[in-house]
Chains A and B, each alone.
Chain A
Amino acid sequence: MELAIGLILAGCAIGAGLALIAGIGPGIGEGNAVAKACEAIGRQPESAGAVRTTMFIGCAIAETTGLYGFVVGLLLIFYAPKAFINLFIETIGKIG
């Protein structure tokens, strides 16, 4: 019983860690996008408005992917362990 609960907690913690890896990609992508946008605005200041809008939307889209990982990580840390342990105890109770 304790081993099973320990495994559930470990699984949730490992899952949360893996989910947070999703934040790395958008971070790098956003940095690149902003750097290139700054370069583009520096080269052609007259197109600053269009570049800014496109960069803004692109960064926001990239950001949402990182957010999904972050929220899944939060749920796995704060919500899932309790829910899974309750489910496990209910199942054991039904079998027993």
Chain B
Amino acid sequence: MKIDQTVKRETFHIICGALIMSILEQSVFLIIKKWDFTVLLGNLLMAVIFVLDFFFLGITLQSVVKKQDSGEIKKSMMLSRLLRYGMIAAAFACGLIFPKLFNVWAMIPPLFFNRISLAVIAARQPKEPHDSPATDENREEGDEVEPKDETQNS
């Protein structure tokens, strides 16, 4: 299956965001003098899992928009969600089972990495002009006038 250009581009943005925020997180742990190797591993584990979650969501959406049957779309989305949540639960379970390897507190901030990166991406997207229907005030010369719906008045 060929991966869509949109999925690749947005995943790349998310990876960049996750990297920048991971560096910030590590710096904060260093500043408060709580840094050790478990902090780095916990941060990396969850950052990778959430980037993968985003990528798999993108692949699912890419395959779903080509389908026509709404039941099939629903099934694909539910299966994808179940598998992705399973992956996150497994990663969290790993972190909680091996506290000597992964710091639990370092596993929480990567939750917000995707949201923050997406907010930045959404803010950076160029806004298209709103396609409002022509009124008497904004209609230009030569614009076609749609006939009014007679049934609305009755």
Contacts and interface: CB of A to CB of B under 8 A. Distances in A.
Interface of A: 27, 30-31, 34-35, 37-38, 41, 48-50, 52-53, 55-57, 59-61, 63-64, 67-68, 70-71, 74-75, 78-79
Contacts of B23: none
A59 B93 CA distance: 26
A39 B11 CA distance: 25
In the A-B complex, the 7 residue pairs with the smallest Cβ-Cβ separation, listed nearest first, are: A64-B115, A78-B96, A74-B92, A53-B6, A61-B118, A52-B6, A64-B114
B36 interface: no
24 contacts: A31-B74, A34-B61, A37-B65, A50-B128, A52-B4, A52-B6, A52-B65, A56-B57, A56-B61, A57-B121, A60-B57, A60-B58, A60-B114, A64-B111, A64-B114, A67-B53, A70-B85, A70-B88, A70-B89, A71-B108, A74-B92, A75-B92, A78-B93, A79-B104
A78 B107 CA distance: 14
A50 B126 CA distance: 11
A67 B46 CA distance: 12
Nearest to A38: B65
A35 B73 contact: yes
A34, A56, A67: most-surrounded residue (chain B CB, <10 A): A56
